Amino acid sequence: MILLRTAALSLRMLARSRVRAALAVAGIAVAVFILCAERAVHSGIVEATAANERDTRLIVYRANRFCPFTSRLPERYADEVASIEGVKSAVPMQIVVSNCRASLDVVVFRGVRAADAARGIAARVRFVEGSLDAFLARGDGALVGSALAARRGLKPGDRLSAAGITVTVAGIVDADGPQDRNACFVQLPFLQAAAGGVQGGEVTQLEVEVADPAKLREVATLIDARFATDLAPTTTRPEKAFVARAAADLVAIAEFAGFLGVGALLAIFALVANAIVLSLEHRTRELAVLQSVGFPGKALAFGIVVESSALAFVGAVVGAGAASLVLGLGRFSLGAEGVLVEFRPSGVTAAASVALALAVGIAAGLIPAIAASRKAIVEGLRAA
Amino acid sequence: MTGATAAADAAFIRCTRLTKVFRRGDTEIVPLRDLDLEIPRGAFVSLMGPSGSGKTTLLNLLAGLDGATRGELWIDGQELSRLSRDQLARWRAKSVGIIFQSYNLVPVLTAYENVELPLLLHDLSRRERHERTMAALETVSLVDRASHFPRQLSGGQEQRVAIARAIVADPPLLLADEPTGDLDRVSADLVLDLLGRLHRERGRTIVMVTHDPLAAARAPLKLHLDKGALESTRVDSVSMEGARTAAGEVAP
Ligand SMILES: Nc1ncnc2c1ncn2[C@@H]1O[C@H](COP(=O)(O)OP(=O)(O)OP(=O)(O)O)[C@@H](O)[C@H]1O
Ligand SMILES: [Mg+2]
C-alpha cells in the first residue's frame, strides 16, 4: 500500500514539474523515434533480402551485369527456361528505373507481356482498385504497387511520369513482397518502345517461379548451365539473394544504422539517468524530509524508479507513435539498381521499442534511486 | 541507579550515557558526551544552548534520523538503536512529528498535500485522510490556504503548515528545531501559541530547540545544553500539570 501511494505521489510530483518532465520526455521521444526508424530499416532489409524456405522466385540476369541499364537477355530465353525441369513459369521482364543509384523515390517500371500479366503477375498480386482488363485495354496502362501508389498519391486514371515515360494508372495492386508493392507494371512492348536503347525482343531479366522451394538453387544451376555457351550467358539467383547483392550498399548502410539503434538506446539511458540524477540532486532535502515524515527509503527508491519509468514510457510512446505515423504516411522505400527496400512501421517494433525504453528507464533510475534512499537522512536535511 | 526502573517507566524519553561522535578524518567531534536525560510524558521542554552545542544532534537522535555512537535512547518503551532503518521509518510515521526551522515543505505539493503526506503511510481511506488533513489545517487556522503552494505562503504560514503536517498523524512526540528561528515576532508568537496549545490541550510531549529566550519561556521545562552535556536544568513545576517532576539530570 505504501509502495503504491509513494508511486502515485512520485507521479503527481513529476507531473507538477512540467518543464523538467517535458524536456526529458521530448529527448526520449526523439531517441525512440530514431530507434524505431532504425528498426524499420533493419526489418525492411531483412524482409527484402533474408531467404526463407518458402521462397520460390529466381531472377535470371545477364552474367556479369549488375544494373538494369546493362543487363540484356533475349526474350525467347523465357520459353526455354519454362521447359526446364522444376520450373513453373518464366516471365521475361523489362526493367526501367527512374534512378539507378540509391534513392528514396525510385519508380521501377516492370514491362511484362500481356499473357504473362494475365497469368504470372495477376497470380502474385491482389487488386485493390482497377482491374486486369483495364490494364490490358490500353497500351500505356499501368498496375501500380500499393506502396508506390500511396507514396505518390495515385489512383486509377492518374498519370505517372518518371524516367521520361508517362503511363496511365489502370489499377492499384497489393502484394506480399516489397518489389511488387513498389513496382509499376506496364506492358512490355510499350516499355521497350518508350525506354529506347532496347532492342525489340530483349528484356532485362527473367522472373522464374519454381515448383518446389527446396529445388531453388538446383534449378538456378540448370538455367545457367543451359545458357553458359550462348551469346548471353546468365547468372541466376534466388530473388532475395539477388536483392541482397543489388542492394549491398543499402545493407551496409542499414548495418551502420544498427549503431544508431544502439546509440539511441544509450541516449535513452543517458537522458533518463540525467533527468533523474539532476532532479534528485536538488531534491536531496525533499527526500530527507519525506523520510523524516516516515516514508521508508525503499518506498522512495521505488517512487524514483516509477518516475524514471514513467518518463521513459511516455517518451517512448510519443516517439514510437510519431515514428509509426511518419513511416506509415511516408511509405518510404529506398531503391538501388532497380530493387527496393521498404521502411514500414510495425506494431511489433513499436511495442518492442516501448518495452526496451521502459527497461532502460528502469535501469537508469535504479542506481540513483538506491543511492538516494541510502543517503544519511541528516546529511539530506542539511542539503540546500 | 536504584529506583531507576520506576523512573524509566514514567519517563517518556530516557537517554543513558548517550554519546554521539562525528569523525572527519583525524578529527573527532563529540557534540554529545554521556548524556543522561529523562523527559516525562506530556512535557513541553525547551532546549537551549550555544551554537554547536549539539542541540540539533540530540533532536536528530530523538527523531531516529541518526544513530547514537554509544549509550541508550528509550522513547515510549522503545530502544531506538535496536531498530533497523525501515523500522525507524515506520516508528517515525506513527510516533514523531518533526518541525524544522526552514519549514521543509515539499514545494510542488499544496499545503493540503503537504499536510496529508504522513497519512499516506497509514491505513486510512481517502475520506479519513481528508477529514484528518482538514482538521489539522483547522488547528493551524489555514483551511483557506489548503490549495496554496508553499511559495504562495508567508514564512509564518509555511511553518504552520509544517506544524499541521507534524500533528496530522497524531504522534505523541513533537520535535521542533528552532521553529521560530526564521519568523518575526508576531508569526513566532502564533507558532508558539500553537505548540503551547498542543501541549496543554492534547497532552503532546514537545521538545523544542530555540535560541530565543522568549520562546524558551513558553516551555515549562528548560534544558540547557553545553559542550555535549546538560549544564543546567530548571524545572518550572507549576505548569507541569501534575506530571512527575523529573526531567534532565545533570551529567556528573
Ligand atoms: N554530520 C556531521 N559531521 C560532522 N560534524 C557534525 C555533523 N553534524 C554536526 N556536527 C558537529 O556537531 C556539533 C554540534 O552540531 P549541532 O548541529 O548539533 O549544533 P547546534 O547546537 O544545533 O547548533 P546551532 O545552534 O548552530 O544549530 C557542531 O560542532 C557540528 O559541527
Ligand atoms: Mg541546530
**Following DSSP, what letter does each residue of A152-213 receive, concatenated?**
HT--TT-EEEETTEEEEEEEEEEESSHHHHTEEEEEHHHHHHHH-S--TTEESEEEEEES-G
Ligand 2: centre distance to CA B50 (Å): 9
Residues A123 and A216 in one domain: yes
Ligand 1: centre distance to CA B94 (Å): 27
Note the residue count of chain A: 384
Spatial contact of A106 and A342, defined as CB atoms under 8 Å apart: no
Q: Domain range spanning residue B234?
A: 3-249
Q: Which atom of ligand 1 approaches the CA of A376 most closely? A: 1
Domain-located, residue A240: no
| Number of domains present in the structure of chain A | 2
Domain end residue (candidates: A232, A263, A289): A232
> What residue spans of chain B are helical by DSSP H?
4-10, 55-62, 85-95, 111-116, 126-139, 155-167, 185-202, 213-217
CA–CA min distance A270, chain B (Å): 25
Q: What is the CATH number of the domain that holds B36?
A: 3.40.50.300
Q: Which atom of ligand 1 approaches the CA of B178 most closely? A: 27
Q: pLDDT tens per residue, chain A (384 residues)?
A: 889 999 999 999 999 988 888 998 999 999 999 989 888 888 888 888 888 888 899 999 999 988 888 888 998 999 999 999 899 999 999 999 887 777 788 899 999 998 888 888 888 899 999 989 999 998 899 999 999 999 899 999 999 998 889 999 999 999 988 889 999 999 999 998 887 766 678 899 999 999 999 999 999 999 999 999 988 999 999 999 998 888 888 888 888 888 888 888 888 888 888 888 888 888 899 999 999 999 999 999 999 999 999 999 999 999 999 999 999 888 888 888 888 888 888 888 899 989 988 998 899 899 999 998 888 999 898 886
Spatial contact of A239 and A245, defined as CB atoms under 8 Å apart: no
Disruptive mutation site among A11, A13, A292, A382 for chain B (greatest number of B CBs within 10 Å): A292
Show the CA angle centred on residue B52, arms to residues B47 and B58, nearest 5°.
45
Domain-located, residue A154: yes
Residues A95 and A215 in one domain: yes
Give the environment of ion ligand 2: residues with CB less than 5 A.
Answer: B 56
Q: Cell 486510512 sits at which residue?
A: B124
Residues A283 and A349 in one domain: yes
Domain-located, residue A175: yes
Disruptive mutation site among A4, A19, A289, A295 for chain B (greatest number of B CBs within 10 Å): A289
Ligand 2: centre distance to CA B210 (Å): 9
Contact B89 A13 (CB under 8 A): no
Give the three-class secondary structure for A61: strand
Q: Which candidate from B89, B107, B169 shows the least CB-CB separation from A296?
A: B89
Q: Flag residues of chain B having pLDDT under 50.
A: 1-8, 232, 234-252
Q: Domain range spanning residue A81?
A: 64-232
Q: Which candidate from A6, A285, A376 shows the least CB-CB separation from B104?
A: A285
- Alpha carbon separation from B112 to A209, B104, B151 (Å, rounded): 75, 14, 14
Say what the ipTM of the complex is.
0.87
Residues A77 and A224 in one domain: yes
Angle formed by the axes of helices A297-330 and A284-293, nearest 10°: 130
Residues A187 and A268 in one domain: no
Backbone angles phi, psi at A112, to 5 degrees: -130, 150
Ligand 1: centre distance to CA B103 (Å): 19
- Name the DSSP letter for residue A112: E
CA–CA min distance A380, chain B (Å): 10
Domain-located, residue A55: no
Residues A37 and A87 in one domain: no
Residues A221 and A253 in one domain: no
Question: Could you tell me which of A308, A253, A297 has the C-alpha nearest to residue A24?
Answer: A308
Q: Cell 537522458 sits at which residue?
A: A271
Give the whole-angstrom CA distance, residue B230 versus residue B46. Answer: 12
Sign, CA dihedral A223-A225-A230-A236, equals: positive
Give the whole-angstrom CA distance, residue B33 versus residue A260. Answer: 61
| Number of domains present in the structure of chain B | 1
A291 chain-B contacts, CB cut-off 8 A: 65, 89
The b-or-e profile of A230-256 (16+ CB within 10 A means b, else e) is eeeebbbbbbbbbbbbbbeebbebbee
Domain end residue (candidates: A204, A232, A260): A232
**pLDDT recorded at residue A198:** 61
Residue of B19, B35, B55 to test ligand 1 pocket, by largest number of atoms within 8 Å of CB: B55
Residues A105 and A207 in one domain: yes
Residues A147 and A223 in one domain: yes
Residues A108 and A195 in one domain: yes
Q: Is B218 in the pocket of ligand 1 (CB under 6 A)?
A: no
Spatial contact of A87 and A105, defined as CB atoms under 8 Å apart: no
Residues A79 and A212 in one domain: yes
CA–CA min distance B238, chain A (Å): 33
Residues A40 and A135 in one domain: no
**pLDDT recorded at residue A331:** 82
The pTM of the full predicted model, rounded to 2 decimals, is 0.80
**pLDDT recorded at residue B211:** 92
> What residue spans of B1-108 are helical by DSSP H?
4-10, 55-62, 85-95
B123 in A contact zone (CB under 8 Å): yes
B121 in A contact zone (CB under 8 Å): yes
